Amino acid sequence: MKHRYLPMTEQDQQEMLKVIGVSSVDELFEDIPEKVRFKGELNLKPAKSESALLKELAQLAKQNANSDEYVSFLGAGVYDHYKPVIVDHVISRSEFYTAYTPYQPEISQGELQAIFEFQTMIAELTGMDLANSSMYDGGTALAEAGMLAAGQTRRKKILVSDAVHPIALDVVKTYAYGQSIEVVNVPLKDGVTDLDALNNLIDNDTAAVMVQYPNFYGRIENVQAISDAIHAVKGISIVSANPLALAILTPPGKMDADITVGDAQPFGIPEAFGGPHCGYFATTKKLMRKVPGRLVGETVDEDGRRGYVLTLQAREQHIRREKATSNICSNQALNALAASVAMTALGKKGVQEMAKQNILKTHYAKEAFENAGFEVPFKGPHFNEIVVKVEGSVQALNDALFEKNIIGGFDLGKVSPELENHILIAVTEQRTKEEIDALVQEMGALQHA
């Protein structure tokens, strides 16, 4: 039987108690008042053997639908992408798998190098000057960007496109509430940010504009025009970008974005039913000292040997709380490593080919739906996702598709009353022509049933 962990023996326990200087576990906790100690037994099921427990957990896991057994067209922020097999091999090594965070950077050289490589690749993809060591996820990265912009400009209003992921927008609003920052939504026109409405909303009190690229509906935003508009009032341009798309689209840094954030999930990180994933945060040199979290730098020691150091730590654990730019305390080091390994394994040409396939297959799906008589309301270029109008309930449609071993798209009526009876279909490089044709055929048959 393969044991993942070795249990502590009675001898181990006695040796630890001896080192501490106490004779028993009860003596260890004697300073806790008797009246607050728990009495009786916890309401837990009896312990099982390892083999019995693994069987029970496997049965529970089978109750979930996954993209290994089902054909998935569900995206909306988390995608079924190709993951090189080497990713799990590397991140399962004990020196990475059990590493938490480099509190002793001088002896954490492998971890620091991995972080440095992640920063370098993210900076290159986004076209920004630098990137930090990673963040919790794309939503918190976007919120942190908004708080940075408000602090830098000393303004209290942020404009956010209605095509930003609704969950990320909720995170931004939560952060903004604590800082008494006003969040104003910018309406859309044909599935992208309405530039006329944006220009009318921008004023000298606006700290930043936030857009998503490609946006929540898969459309490509005019980042350059948005950057120009906010820079006219000396505000900050913030772009939440899919890093895979940046392999083939113009990077935000080339369109004068000040901050580019996003989620690295497309690179080597499984869907995992919603997380954990890995956020990234990239910006210009001007804003370097306001970046949340850590920056790792490369240097040489006194003997000329290459080494890595924590160059900048702007979090509240390391500097005076009132001077800290963020209370983000950890980075997603293991998932950042997974993203780095995936990008390295794919290489520049591989990442570009992967992004190209997403565009071509999404375009094929769009034409297939239109040829089958479906309305695809938003015209223009798409990446990964398209919006399709259906007759009747999206939930009922998805339930019927599920019976055919197909995970359908996202019900847009859940986040926008105007898009009731509209479904967001995600098409990645994983989907084949046959799978796309089958989806269109099944949806057509269900619509006419």
pTM equals: 0.90
pLDDT band at 329 (very low <50, low <70, confident <90, very high): low
- If you average pLDDT over every residue of the chain, what do you get? 92
The answer to whether residues 349 and 358 touch, using CB atoms and an 8 Å cutoff, is no
The per-residue pLDDT for 213 is 98
Find, among 153, 144, 150, the residue nearest to 316 by Cα.
Answer: 144
pLDDT tens sequence across 185-215: 999 999 999 999 999 999 999 999 999 999 9
Angle at 27 between CA 26 and CA 31, to 5 degrees: 100
The partner residues of 299 in beta bridges, in order of sequence, read: 307
The per-residue pLDDT for 318 is 58
The per-residue pLDDT for 328 is 73
Residues carrying CATH 3.40.640.10, the chain = 86-342
Contacts of 446 (CB under 8 A, 6+ apart): 397, 400, 401
The per-residue pLDDT for 8 is 80
Pseudo-torsion of CA 48, 54, 56, 57, nearest 10°?
120
pLDDT at 344 exceeding the cut of 80: yes
Contacts of 144 (CB under 8 A, 6+ apart): 135, 175, 261, 281, 292, 326, 328
Read off the amino acid at residue 231. H
**Mean pLDDT, range 292-299, rounded to an integer:** 89
pLDDT band at 1 (very low <50, low <70, confident <90, very high): very low
pLDDT band at 108 (very low <50, low <70, confident <90, very high): confident
The per-residue pLDDT for 293 is 83
pLDDT tens sequence across 273-289: 888 999 999 999 999 98
Residue 105: asked if its preceding bond is cis (omega within 30°), the reply is no
pLDDT at 324 exceeding the cut of 70: no
The answer to whether residues 408 and 446 touch, using CB atoms and an 8 Å cutoff, is no
What 3-state class would DSSP assign to 211? Answer: strand
Q: Which CATH superfamily is domain 71-83+348-447 in?
A: Aspartate Aminotransferase, domain 1 (3.90.1150.10)
Residues carrying CATH 3.90.1150.10, the chain = 71-83+348-447
Angle at 144 between CA 79 and CA 277, to 5 degrees: 25
pLDDT tens sequence across 371-402: 999 999 998 999 999 999 999 999 999 999 99
The partner residues of 422 in beta bridges, in order of sequence, read: 389
pLDDT band at 2 (very low <50, low <70, confident <90, very high): low
Classify domain 86-342 at the CATH topology level. Answer: Aspartate Aminotransferase; domain 2 (3.40.640)
pLDDT band at 311 (very low <50, low <70, confident <90, very high): confident
pLDDT band at 22 (very low <50, low <70, confident <90, very high): very high
